[in-house]
Structure 1
Amino acid sequence: MSEDITQPLLHGMNDRRVVGLRERLVRTGAAGAHLDPRDVTTPAAFDDDVDTAVRAFQQTHGLVIDGVVGPETERRLNEAQYSLGDRNLQWDQQEPMRGDDVERLQENLSLLGLYYGHLTGTFDQKTHHAVVELQQSLGLESNGVVNHQTIAALARVNKKISDSKAFSLRDYHRLERSSDAIRSQKIILVPAMHTEAPVIPSGAPDGYRETAKRITTDVAVRTHELLREVGATPVLVSKEPIADRHGTQIEVQPNIREALDSTRDAVVVVLDCDWNASPAAHGASVFYWGNADRGGATLSPIGQRGATLTLREIVARTGALDLGAHGRQWGLLRLNTAPTFSVDLGYISNQAELSRLENAEYRSHLANAVVIGLQRMYLQAADDLPTGTMSAVDLARELARRPQQ
């Protein structure tokens, strides 16, 4: 029987692809006496040692720790094969180079003030221009190729840099330059199952997909209506038509990229639900682009700020258990051109929580929480009010009193 190369790899499988998986895990620095395919009698077996290494890799890189090598883990494994200096880097318009080495290069360039924006790990035109500028500044050949000579010069310069998070200050500056009101902002709302590669929690039943999509779509529609009321520019991402609560069709975009339409001055909010094998699991959590394996570095301060403030509002308005804000390296959070955060509204696996999520009034509270959380993100501290005390109606009235920016 031929092997299905699209099937995720998981514990207990015997597949020739596991041999390559073992080799890639070893190259990322994974340790284990029985991990290297040359040291075992059945290198194609996805055994306990491989499972342990995969889970450790997922934990280190902020992925869902399920031991399954699916699309997201595959992508991060491929990106983690290179350290800066292992290969020459350059811009290829047809097939851009990707990897942890590119992300580290972007971080170094950002620390020097040559690169602005998210560290995508993709060597794009913006990275190319930053490299050329670096080479010109250092008196090197300005060809945009990051070879050993360029890396050595970069290392010498970076000894003068003390703050490893300096690049994130540009994100804060960008926030400060924004209007103090949400009315001028573009907000991209993405309900569950409408991302490029939606993740289904391990063990979730067949009906999870439709239930999560229905709940989060309704919250997104309510949020969309409230954002319009306060003068913001909300955009819904959906692969299928969506109507508002009055039956009128809402204009949607098929994916986040087209919704952003090349603008940087936007925020992407992903609405999701969760599932756990334990029926007692409950609460709300948020996720932003951060790097747990580098001392918990926040790579998107705007994403973190929006996520944290939104969670605060949800907890204050619904009484949901606060499960915290977490930095993750998910492609959904790190590959967009605009700050992105994801909100897990609750556990569908908990019948009591599912009942609340099915309640229209509860979903209205969630929508209000998202809108006010976003507004707090743009407000100056002096203008802020206690958590849970402002409604979208209050916000609309307040904005009506303010002069247009």
Structure 2
Amino acid sequence: MSEDITQPMQRGTNDRRVVGLRERLVRAGTVNLRLDPRDAGSPTLFDDAVEAAVLEFQQNHGLLVDGVVGPETERRLNEAQYVLGDRRLYWDPDGPLRGDDVERLQNNLSLLGLYYGHLTGVFDQKTHYAVVELQQSLGLEPTGVVNTQTIAALARVNKKISDAKAFSLRDYHRLEQATDAIRSQKVVLVPAVFTDNPVIPGGAPHDYSSVAEAITTDIAVRTHELLREVGATPLLVATRPVKDRHGTLIDVHPSIADAVAGSRESIVVVVDCDWNHSPSAHGVAVFYWGDDTSSVTLSPIGQRAATLTLREIVARTGSLDLGTHGRQWGVLRLNSAPTLSIDVGYISNQSELAHLEDPEFRSHLANAIVVGLQRMYLQTSEDMPTGTMSAIDVAREIARRPHAG
């Protein structure tokens, strides 16, 4: 029996980690009579029952449904071990508490109008202030600590809550106030290989990361240049030096958090590729912070940006429309700014790879991203049809608006 804690767990894994995985899946609410290690013939074996439970958990939590327990699934499993009331919750700046119980608390606070923004599942300073405000309004000692007394009081008032979308109001408000279109916006561009814990598709060849990096970085650079031309503030996230197409170094940020720090108005665009065992898989998809199994919109800006950007890409490139999808990936849900992740195509498909390696095709993608974002901020039905607007048109649209500088 071998054990390597650095390796993902998947079907056939046989070591002590699987025992703990079984227990965590049971506690996370997965129902399977053969899952509990006390009932399993081989509790250390990642068998059919464990794989079925992992697939169910991934499906229910908006993760990549591949049956593999990698870093993303591990983190969500750990977060799913707590329900509200299991432990005291409080703000610890040095090591913030994370979990489904924190996300449930944020949801309850948002429905009361005390917490605004994305439900991150991280007990941060904003959550602390919301708890203090709740305690003050209920006549409790305003410690910011969520103990049994605070939870009991929250349960009493929670019966009166009816608006399940209250937490998204700030996003809608920000969208409505964007009178200067994209000019006033900070746009953070992130080749996916430079995100925290970048995902490499299972079975991808050894050169996948280098090929994906070359494609997505060039698209991000081209988008960066176009955004500067229309007066936006583009920022590039990378862990190595990046040059523009004239050979000049671009100022880069080491992380998304660093890029969005101190900004009230920003949006994050992750550019990614995909790979599939089938060489015929092709098309483009866009993801945002949400849940396809629920009607609740978690990020209105992210969802609208995803929809409009995908429309522009399909209209300009002829790529197969694989749709927009709500996911709860860390790169989407843990940012303080609305985020969309664009899978621009499958590099496992030789025909699609040839397109992605074509500079002209990449320019079309960059233009589509810029115009898709511009359409989102314009909020108008009078602009040009999808696929006909260029970056120059964007600049003209801004110039003719009365609020433009």
TM-score normalised to structure 1 length: 0.97
Which 10-residue stretch deviates more, 387-396 or 336-345?
387-396
Partner of 2:204: 204
Within 5 A, what are the aligned runs for 1:216-255? 216-255=216-255
Partner of 2:76: 76
* Percent of aligned pairs sharing the same letter: 73
Partner of 1:9: 9
* Preserved CA contact (<8 Å) 1:19 1:44: yes
Deviations 1:312-336 (A, max 9, x none): 1001111111111100000000001
Q: For the residues of structure 1 that align with 2:2 and 2:54, how far apart are their CA atoms?
A: 24
Within 5 A, what are the aligned runs for 1:298-317? 298-317=297-316
Q: For the residues of structure 1 that align with 2:381 and 2:93, how far apart are their CA atoms?
A: 46
Partner SS for 1:273: strand
Partner of 1:368: 367
Within 5 A, what are the aligned runs for 1:2-401? 3-293=3-293, 295-401=294-400
* Preserved CA contact (<8 Å) 2:118 2:167: no
Partner SS for 1:236: strand
Deviations 1:195-221 (A, max 9, x none): 011001111111111111111111111
Partner SS for 2:245: coil
Superposition deviation, residue 2 in structure 1: 6.3
Superposition deviation, residue 3 in structure 1: 2.4
Deviations 1:247-279 (A, max 9, x none): 111111111111112323100000001111111
Partner SS for 1:327: strand
Superposition deviation, residue 231 in structure 1: 0.5
Which 10-residue stretch deviates more, 301-310 or 163-172?
163-172
Where structure 1 has 5 or more consecutive residues not aligned to the other structure, the ranges are none
Equivalent residue letter for 1:182: I
* Preserved CA contact (<8 Å) 2:180 2:398: no
Q: For the residues of structure 2 that align with 1:398 and 1:96, how far apart are their CA atoms?
A: 44
Deviations 1:156-179 (A, max 9, x none): 222222121121122100111223
Equivalent residue letter for 1:43: P
* Preserved CA contact (<8 Å) 1:264 1:337: no
Q: For the residues of structure 2 that align with 1:182 and 1:383, how far apart are their CA atoms?
A: 17
Q: For the residues of structure 2 that align with 1:28 and 1:39, how far apart are their CA atoms?
A: 17
Superposition deviation, residue 383 in structure 1: 4.2
* Preserved CA contact (<8 Å) 1:54 1:67: yes
- Give the paired residue count: 404
Superposition deviation, residue 154 in structure 1: 1.4
TM-score normalised to structure 2 length: 0.97
* Preserved CA contact (<8 Å) 2:116 2:169: no
Partner SS for 2:160: coil
Superposition deviation, residue 241 in structure 1: 0.8
Q: For the residues of structure 2 that align with 1:111 and 1:384, how far apart are their CA atoms?
A: 35
Partner SS for 2:162: coil
Q: For the residues of structure 1 that align with 2:93 and 2:252, how far apart are their CA atoms?
A: 29
Equivalent residue letter for 1:117: G
Deviations 1:278-313 (A, max 9, x none): 1111111000000245x2422111111111110010
Equivalent residue letter for 1:118: H
Superposition deviation, residue 180 in structure 1: 3.4
Equivalent residue letter for 1:300: S
* Preserved CA contact (<8 Å) 2:2 2:15: no
Q: For the residues of structure 2 that align with 1:305 and 1:235, how far apart are their CA atoms?
A: 21
Equivalent residue letter for 1:335: L
Superposition deviation, residue 4 in structure 1: 1.9
Where structure 2 has 5 or more consecutive residues not aligned to the other structure, the ranges are none
Equivalent residue letter for 1:109: L
